[in-house]
A and B are shown apart, each in its own frame.
Chain A
Amino acid sequence: MSQLIFSILIISGIGALFALLLELADAFIANYGECRISINREKELVVQGGNSLLFSLMEEGIFIPSACGGKGTCAYCKVKVLEGGGPILPTETPYLTEEEQAKNVRLSCQVKVRNDLVIELPAELFLIEEFKVKVDRIVDLTPFIKGVTLGILSPEEGISFKPGQYIQLEIPKYKLSKEPEYRAFSMASSSKGPQSVELYIGLVEKGLVSTYVHEYLKEGEELIMRGPFGDFYFRDSERDILLVATGTGLAPILSILRHIRSEQIQRKTTLFFGTRIREDMYCVEELKEMEKQLPAFTFIPTLSREAESSQWEGKRGRVTDLIEDLVPEGADYDVYICGNSDMVDSCMDRLLEKGIPEDQIYFDKFS
């Protein structure tokens, strides 16, 4: 028996010896001191030098996709390194095409952090965080849409996002779903208020998350939220703005409008907001209020299935008809469309026929 214990101690001794060797080497040989990594010129990280870029980013909670774990065989971890990356290594050339090399795309598992670096990452990779939120208020905007306001508990500085982006809300297990489910919802609140977020959640029958929100969710309850995601957000330019929304698609559009109001942007803005019937319409008072405050903003609601007899004086028909009648030929607008995917596709065709360049049309499809 003592022979067994003795042999175990020897093995642990060998292990510890090598650990010591590695640590000493790390301390004296491989320490490159502090290095600064600036990401998309927005976020700056200070990391310990000597490791690969992929590894240092992972230490800071930024997860670049990787399959082979830094063995240089899967080439999943491509990242743009603008400065400080050093020459392209022979381990990377097999995986990088000519124009990737020209755009200084590198394998982050091979690039070593030895000095300050400037890199560019796809936005969703490094901005995503996880938030603990508390349900502050639940309001019935329409028989099928609830306005949910979430206060952010942690992290304190709240969520920084661009107007129009969305988050993923996670709801706990309950009767209908065996494990936590999460769905994406666009944020309607203005990006100036990072401490709280407003979502418009429409009831989708047999939809696990929406049923939970409509029937089980109570004020004061705590949930998990992740984000921000998506490349549908408000872009600065000088052109006039056309906003098109149906149903819960108004959420990101409202976030853009609130951004325009708080920034006092003087660009001519028109909003086509379509629903089936008057009861489906919501936030009308706030939108009318905005029309008074912002001289350059016009709000044109339309109802596609309103009964003839009702005393609704506004437009009747679909938002696509509004585009047909009100958008002049050859107009040079920035267009933001949000709603269900068929609506977005049909609006897209109409707008292209009107001659609006495709790269000026931004859309967000809710399936």
Chain B
Amino acid sequence: MIKQLRSVVYMFLISLFFASLVSAVMFLNEKKIASNQALKLQRIILKVLDIAAEKNTADDQISRLFMERVKDIRVGDRILYVGYKEDGHTILGYAFPVGGPGFWGPIQGMVGVDPDATKVLGIAFYKHTETPGLGGRITEDWFSSQFNGLRLFPIEGDQKIFYLKPAGTTGAPNELDAITGATNTSSAVETFLNDELDYFLKELWTTVEERE
């Protein structure tokens, strides 16, 4: 019986040791990871609202800028971020989180629209589990900058706000380049982003307008 007891105690001690090791490392880095996430979100929102577009602005400058220029308001089931111009009170635009099923797992992004929600200021995807180098390229600038200036209108019938076509075959302004080799991710993004934009325009936008 001792042999069994010995290995149970041994396993308990080993798991205790390694669990505490992992927790210690987690504890030390938790704040750093949290601040990374928050910073990334702020950077994305500022980028989407076209306030601080350059990639290399220092972290502290980003959070200061975010404090001054962005306020968040709760609308329906989401948090909307209202961006202001330098003077601090004329509205520059609104940013709201979007999300939906990608090829491998959920994709989350942020969409920035002008004050009267007729045009897209900027779009960025920041959380996904797509294949690195393939679907994962939705986070790259060349892909997200295509959406800048996209005309927005609530969807009637099957006519979509934008389409993702294979690279090089795009014609109309609302036909954008899909990621070569990642047809699955591209079609996934096209579907859920259209629905989210439509949802925003139809449900959320009306409440935002009254608030003004």
**B12 near A15 (CB under 8 angstroms)?**
yes
Determine the chain A residues whose CB is within 8 A of the CB of B10 once the complex forms.
Answer: 19
**A14 near B15 (CB under 8 angstroms)?**
yes
Q: List 23 A-B contacts (CB under 8 A).
A: A4-B23, A4-B27, A7-B19, A8-B16, A9-B16, A12-B13, A12-B16, A12-B19, A13-B12, A15-B12, A15-B14, A15-B15, A16-B8, A16-B9, A16-B11, A16-B12, A18-B11, A19-B8, A19-B10, A19-B11, A19-B12, A22-B7, A23-B8
- Docked complex: B1-54 residues within 8 A CB-CB of A: 3-4, 7-16, 19-20, 23, 27
A residues whose Cβ falls under 8 Å from a Cβ of B? 4, 7-9, 11-16, 18-20, 22-24, 26-27
CB distance from B122 to the nearest CB of A (A): 39
**B15 near A11 (CB under 8 angstroms)?**
yes
Interface size class of B (residues with CB under 8 A): 10 to 19
- Please, how many angstroms separate the alpha-carbon atoms of A19 and B9 in the complex? 9
**B4 near A23 (CB under 8 angstroms)?**
yes
Determine the chain B residues whose CB is within 8 A of the CB of A14 once the complex forms.
Answer: 15
CB distance from A49 to the nearest CB of B (A): 15
3 tightest CB-CB pairs across the interface, nearest first? A15-B15, A19-B11, A16-B12
Q: Which residue of chain A has the shortest Cβ distance to B13 in the bound complex?
A: A12
Determine the chain A residues whose CB is within 8 A of the CB of B20 once the complex forms.
Answer: 8
At the interface, is chain A mostly helix, strand, loop or mixed?
Answer: helix
CB distance from A48 to the nearest CB of B (A): 11
- Please, how many angstroms separate the alpha-carbon atoms of A7 and B11 in the complex? 16
**A20 near B8 (CB under 8 angstroms)?**
yes
**A20 near B4 (CB under 8 angstroms)?**
yes
**A11 near B19 (CB under 8 angstroms)?**
yes
CB distance from B13 to the nearest CB of A (A): 8
**A23 near B3 (CB under 8 angstroms)?**
yes
- Please, how many angstroms separate the alpha-carbon atoms of A109 and B14 in the complex? 27
Determine the chain B residues whose CB is within 8 A of the CB of A9 once the complex forms.
Answer: 16
**B12 near A8 (CB under 8 angstroms)?**
no
Determine the chain A residues whose CB is within 8 A of the CB of B8 once the complex forms.
Answer: 16, 19-20, 23
- Please, how many angstroms separate the alpha-carbon atoms of A22 and B11 in the complex? 11
- Docked complex: B121-173 residues within 8 A CB-CB of A: none
**B27 near A19 (CB under 8 angstroms)?**
no
- Please, how many angstroms separate the alpha-carbon atoms of A15 and B8 in the complex? 8
**A15 near B23 (CB under 8 angstroms)?**
no
**B19 near A24 (CB under 8 angstroms)?**
no
Q: Which residue of chain B has the shortest Cβ distance to A24 in the bound complex?
A: B4
CB distance from A44 to the nearest CB of B (A): 24
- Please, how many angstroms separate the alpha-carbon atoms of A22 and B3 in the complex? 12
Tell which of B7, B14, B19, B27 has the most Cβ of chain A within 10 Å: B19
Q: Which residue of chain A has the shortest Cβ distance to B6 in the bound complex?
A: A23
Determine the chain A residues whose CB is within 8 A of the CB of B9 once the complex forms.
Answer: 16
Determine the chain A residues whose CB is within 8 A of the CB of B4 once the complex forms.
Answer: 20, 23-24, 26-27
CB distance from B73 to the nearest CB of A (A): 32
| Besides A12-B19, A18-B11, A19-B7, 12 new A-B residue pairs in contact (Cβ under 8 A), listed by A number | A4-B23, A7-B19, A8-B16, A8-B20, A8-B23, A9-B16, A11-B19, A12-B16, A15-B14, A20-B8, A23-B7, A26-B4
